[in-house]
Amino acid sequence: MSDIVAMVEEIGRKAQKGARVLAWADGDVKDQALLAMAEGLESARGSLQEANAKDLAAAEARGLSPAMIDRLRLTDAVIDGMAEGIRQVVALPDPVGEMSDLRRRPNGMQVGRMRVPLGVIGIIYESRPNVTADAAALCIKSGNAVILRGGSEAYHSNRAIAAVLAAGLDRAGLTGDAVCFIDTTDRAAVGALLKMDQYVDIIIPRGGKGLIKRIMEESLIPIIKHLDGICHTYVDSKADLAMADALSFNGKMQRTGVCNATETLLVHQAVAKAFLPGHVARLQKAGCEVRGCARTQALAEGVIAATEEDWGTEYLCATLSIRVVESLDAAMDHIDRYTSRHTEVIVTTDHSRAMRFLREVDSSAVMVNASSRFNDGFQFGLGAEMGISTDKLHVRGPVGLEGLTCQKYVVFGEGQLRT
Amino acid sequence: MSDIVAMVEEIGRKAQKGARVLAWADGDVKDQALLAMAEGLESARGSLQEANAKDLAAAEARGLSPAMIDRLRLTDAVIDGMAEGIRQVVALPDPVGEMSDLRRRPNGMQVGRMRVPLGVIGIIYESRPNVTADAAALCIKSGNAVILRGGSEAYHSNRAIAAVLAAGLDRAGLTGDAVCFIDTTDRAAVGALLKMDQYVDIIIPRGGKGLIKRIMEESLIPIIKHLDGICHTYVDSKADLAMADALSFNGKMQRTGVCNATETLLVHQAVAKAFLPGHVARLQKAGCEVRGCARTQALAEGVIAATEEDWGTEYLCATLSIRVVESLDAAMDHIDRYTSRHTEVIVTTDHSRAMRFLREVDSSAVMVNASSRFNDGFQFGLGAEMGISTDKLHVRGPVGLEGLTCQKYVVFGEGQLRT
């Protein structure tokens, strides 16, 4: 066994010990620990920024782009933000221990379900070091231990943050074992982690498609993942066109580099002529590049011809593709073919079309008359999120505290025997 | 691309088409189709038994054991049982479309969740051909399409059953595409299926540990699995000993070859002397082999010394291992170390010990004063089950119709924009 594998196994064992302590820690003990973690970050500001300086120097030496370097930087505001984020998690209700669906069986036995932590969560992430604190806080609140593996470019920063968080857990009388950090930049450590299903219950990758595909291929451990966000807004023939204009514009332009931004606008042919010229002009005026099908090009100025590839592209910038469709069914067919199953919106005043779209479109969030930008843990009222799952198993959409737990069956008997 | 891969991809595309039809078929249409499937099996009795005769002849030629051959046999009773099983599924409520947790957000938007099918479910199973009908019925009722891949020893039987089921779907005006059968015994087909994550949403393996481990290693698709059932019954110092005697005996001996049978009995040292001699004698009289720790051996006659290996063994026969423990904590430590996270039972009259055990023991079902044999879909009131999951993600314990669905977010807006 290589040194790396041995080291990662040692971390696995430690995290599993930590998970046992966390699993049934009382809610207020976990909250005290989270507050100690937040205070720890604030008072370690100096040493965190010292560690961060090493990453920044290395990034500059490697010639990373200014934007990339900016994402790495632990400014005072970023440190304050991490502490504030942890305090917001403190304010959320503890999901662990909730009992539901308790029913009496014909033999008098009560059968129900109890919400419990998953155990050990492995998080593999790229860039931004604040993820270290955000992810750890959600795992601790939900009673899990976490193994953190950040990108090599933020190695020193992540390491320093994780150490502060573990110390906060220790200070609060829980255990630092519940926040483990893989203390090497060797890529073999990721491979070892992904095979360690005896210690790790779930892997959550956060990063680009390349990272996630590699993890899917290698992992023996179940994954909760976000692949990409090719989100659609469909303007129905029965849409309120002023509302459609506002929703499409907000879906695309309110923030463009995010997974819940609208990437393709579908427009029913009956309203295309009334809707598209003005809407396209408004988008273009705001700096949005518009690509479209031939019918869109015929109706609006300055539209670039969309290629087949456009329909399957997550632009993550101020570019929108537009297609005129013949019917609601054609819109749903287009979505079914090209969607990444993240977020889809219908704009319509027709009840039965709205309900058909809601039922039949299979994405993590399906919306009637609302902006695609709302698919988000804070906006949905989950309080915080670990990411947005485009998987179908276990949890779809924003992954909040509940997504980091599972339900076991509990049975209250009085000596019942099976016959 | 090999012919096998091309063939399996063709099946994947077909199943995905079938899944679209099934996803929003009305409940009574699905029920009519299930009834047509049940009737189809009954009226195809002759041709099913003809196909089955080929499998039986091949099994005899290969020298399979009489017990194995018996499991393969499609007797009239087995065919009646399949049809009756499908009719029981008809009687269950349709899980699809249920909306829950609808809450109004501060901006007036309503956010909730809707239960929807998973899509395409791949089932890889060994032996008993009746699984073909049972599994397909649960998938259809929950709005999914299914791809069936049975063991080669039941190839002709499975193929004939699947064809009858698909014909029933067609007759009822749905589509036979929703029940697909991998029409080859070539093992490469399984490898191809496990890589087809563009068409298959989930894999459910049913069979021995070897099959399941191979699937875990190869699959790119999420899995719901049952590994093994090393279940414990713990007799607390505060137990009603007559109840403990009945529950341990029922847990082990009511049926021994099943995953929810008790394999290890843990006994608190304070009651070991009063409990074990009589209980061990009763087990032995009923033909159960008892293995035990040194303290068990000292208290009861004819107890074989248990080895370390015994604590981690799923006997699946009339053998029980017994260990005397010093405390509830020692019992929970033993369970944590050796359990397969299937089912654990505490026998006690003490409320706080019962609740600690319920909370802290992390298995798919944790029971107070009830037989481990109750961890079962029918017994828990789910109506039917696809198996019992020892995984933590998505579904733990019996996998009923709900376990074959997921929840997406639904949003009802009136033009809300994100700011």
| Contact flag A246-B415 (C-beta cutoff 8 Å) | yes
Within-domain flag for A393: no
Both A357 and A373 in one domain: the answer is yes
* pLDDT for residue B255 is more than 90: yes
**CB-based contact, B61 to chain A, within 8 Å:** no
Tokens of A406: 């599972």
* Cβ contacts of A409 on chain B, cutoff 8 Å: 364-366, 375, 380, 396-398
Angstrom distance (rounded) from CA B12 to CA B32: 25
Q: What is the pTM of this model?
A: 0.93
- Asked whether the CA dihedral A78, A80, A86, A87 is positive or negative, the reply is negative
Closest to A261 (Cα-Cα) out of A271, A253, A269, A270: A253
| Best of B20, B411, B414, B419 to mutate (most A CBs within 10 Å, chain A) | B411
Tokens of A300: 């609006």
Both A262 and A304 in one domain: the answer is yes
Q: Please, which residues have CB within 8 angstroms of residue A111's CB and are 6 or more apart in sequence?
A: A102, A103, A105, A409, A410, A411, B380, B381
Within-domain flag for A390: no
Kindly report the average pLDDT of chain B as a whole number.
Answer: 96
pLDDT in tens, A381-397: 998 889 999 999 999 99
How far B47 CA lies from chain A's nearest CA (Å)?
36
Average pLDDT of the residues in A128-140: 94
- The closest CB to that of A393, out of B105, B222, B408, belongs to B222
- The closest CB to that of A367, out of B366, B367, B411, belongs to B411
**CB-based contact, A411 to chain B, within 8 Å:** yes
Give residue B248's pLDDT band: very low, low, confident or very high (50, 70, 90): very high
Average pLDDT of the residues in A271-300: 98
Closest to B271 (Cα-Cα) out of B239, B306, B234: B239
* Cβ contacts of B363 on chain A, cutoff 8 Å: 408
* pLDDT for residue B355 is more than 70: yes
- Cβ atoms of B184 and B151 within 8 Å: the answer is no
- The closest CB to that of A220, out of B217, B224, B413, belongs to B217
Angstrom distance (rounded) from CA A162 to CA B373: 44
Helix residue spans in B62-106 (DSSP H): 66-72, 76-90
- Cβ atoms of A161 and A112 within 8 Å: the answer is no
| Best of A253, A362, A414 to mutate (most B CBs within 10 Å, chain B) | A362
Give residue B1's pLDDT band: very low, low, confident or very high (50, 70, 90): low
Both A342 and A237 in one domain: the answer is yes
Predicted local confidence at residue B81, as pLDDT: 95
Range of the domain at A295: 231-379
* Cβ contacts of A20 on chain B, cutoff 8 Å: 336
Kindly report the average pLDDT of chain A as a whole number.
Answer: 96
CA contacts within 13 A on the Cβ side of B43: 11
Average pLDDT of the residues in B353-369: 97
pLDDT in tens, B121-151: 999 998 789 999 999 999 999 999 999 999 9
Average pLDDT of the residues in A6-28: 96
**CB-based contact, B337 to chain A, within 8 Å:** no
* pLDDT for residue B417 is more than 90: yes
- The closest CB to that of A411, out of B240, B365, B411, belongs to B365
Write out the H or E segment, with its range, that includes residue B389: strand B388-389
- Cβ atoms of A295 and A263 within 8 Å: the answer is no
Within-domain flag for A388: no
Distance from the Cα of residue A225 to its chain's centroid: 8
Closest to A407 (Cα-Cα) out of B387, B401, B259, B363: B363
Both A259 and A357 in one domain: the answer is yes
Both A213 and A277 in one domain: the answer is no
Within-domain flag for A240: yes
| Contact flag B371-A220 (C-beta cutoff 8 Å) | no
**CB-based contact, B406 to chain A, within 8 Å:** yes
Residue of A nearest to B113 (CA): A365
| Contact flag A220-B220 (C-beta cutoff 8 Å) | no
How far B396 CA lies from chain A's nearest CA (Å)?
6
**CB-based contact, A103 to chain B, within 8 Å:** yes
CA contacts within 13 A on the Cβ side of A283: 35
| Contact flag B417-A116 (C-beta cutoff 8 Å) | no
Predicted local confidence at residue A1, as pLDDT: 67
| Contact flag A370-B410 (C-beta cutoff 8 Å) | no
- The closest CB to that of B366, out of A24, A223, A408, belongs to A408
- The closest CB to that of A408, out of B246, B365, B380, belongs to B365
| Contact flag A396-B416 (C-beta cutoff 8 Å) | no
Both A267 and A374 in one domain: the answer is yes
How far B136 CA lies from chain A's nearest CA (Å)?
19
- Our CA angle for A43, A47, A52, nearest 5°, is 125
How far A203 CA lies from chain B's nearest CA (Å)?
11
Predicted local confidence at residue B333, as pLDDT: 97
Both B289 and B312 in one domain: the answer is yes
Read off the CATH number of the domain in which B257 is found: 3.40.309.10
Both B263 and B199 in one domain: the answer is no
Angstrom distance (rounded) from CA B348 to CA B148: 44
| Best of B98, B100, B101, B111 to mutate (most A CBs within 10 Å, chain A) | B111
Predicted local confidence at residue B228, as pLDDT: 87
**CB-based contact, A241 to chain B, within 8 Å:** no
Average pLDDT of the residues in B33-37: 98
| Contact flag A415-B369 (C-beta cutoff 8 Å) | yes
- Render B253-299 in DSSP notation, one character per residue: HS-SSSTTSEEEEEEEHHHHHHHHHHHHHHHHHTT-EEEE-HHHHHH
Average pLDDT of the residues in B249-264: 96
Both B97 and B48 in one domain: the answer is yes
Both A37 and A86 in one domain: the answer is yes
Q: What percent of chain B has pLDDT over 90?
A: 93
Average pLDDT of the residues in A397-401: 96
| Contact flag B415-A254 (C-beta cutoff 8 Å) | no
pLDDT in tens, B39-54: 999 999 999 999 999 9
| Best of B225, B362, B390, B395 to mutate (most A CBs within 10 Å, chain A) | B362
| Best of A16, A98, A111 to mutate (most B CBs within 10 Å, chain B) | A111
pLDDT in tens, B66-118: 988 999 999 999 999 999 999 999 999 999 999 999 999 999 999 999 999 99
* Cβ contacts of A393 on chain B, cutoff 8 Å: 118, 201-202, 222, 224, 393-394, 406
Read off the CATH number of the domain in which B202 is found: 3.40.605.10
- Give the C-alpha distances (Å, rounded to integers) separating A419 from A323, B17, B246: 63, 43, 12
- Cβ atoms of A247 and A306 within 8 Å: the answer is no
Q: Please, which residues have CB within 8 angstroms of residue A182's CB and are 6 or more apart in sequence?
A: A8, A11, A147, A148, A149, A189, A193
Within-domain flag for A68: yes
Average pLDDT of the residues in A325-329: 98
Within-domain flag for A361: yes
* pLDDT for residue B300 is more than 80: yes
- The closest CB to that of B370, out of A24, A413, A419, belongs to A413
Within-domain flag for B385: no
Both B245 and B115 in one domain: the answer is no
* Cα dihedral value A83, A88, A89, A93, nearest 10: 160
| Contact flag B114-A411 (C-beta cutoff 8 Å) | no
Q: Which of residues 137-176 of A touch B (CB under 8 A)?
A: none
Q: In terms of pLDDT, which residue wins out, B227 or A99?
A: A99
How far B137 CA lies from chain A's nearest CA (Å)?
20
Mapping DSSP onto H, E and C, the string for chain A reads: CCHHHHHHHHHHHHHHHHHHHHHCCCHHHHHHHHHHHHHHHHHCHHHHHHHHHHHHHHHHHCCCCHHHHHHHCCCHHHHHHHHHHHHHHHCCCCCCCCEEEEEECCCCCEEEEEEEECCEEEEEECCCCHHHHHHHHHHHHCCCEEEEECCHHHHHHHHHHHHHHHHHHHHCCCCHHHEEECCCCCCHHHHHHHCCCCCCCEEEEECCHHHHHHHHHHCCCCECCCCCCCEEEEECCCCCHHHHHHHHHHHHHCCCCCCCCEEEEEEEHHHHHHHHHHHHHHHHHCCCEEEECHHHHHHCCCCEECCHHHHCCCCCCCEEEEEEECCHHHHHHHHHHHCCCCEEEEECCCHHHHHHHHHHCCCCEEEEEECHHHCCCCCCCCCCCCCEECCCCCCCEECCCHHHEEEEEEEEEEEECCC
How far A54 CA lies from chain B's nearest CA (Å)?
37
Within-domain flag for A415: no
Both B17 and B129 in one domain: the answer is yes
pLDDT in tens, B171-196: 999 999 999 999 999 999 999 999 99
Angstrom distance (rounded) from CA B140 to CA B251: 33
For strand B145-149 and strand B120-125, is the pairing parallel, antiparallel, or unpaired? parallel
Residue of A nearest to B102 (CA): A380
* pLDDT for residue A46 is more than 80: yes
* Structural domains counted in chain B: 2
Average pLDDT of the residues in A268-273: 98
Count of Cβ atoms closer than 10 Å to residue A156 Cβ: 21
Predicted local confidence at residue A2, as pLDDT: 84
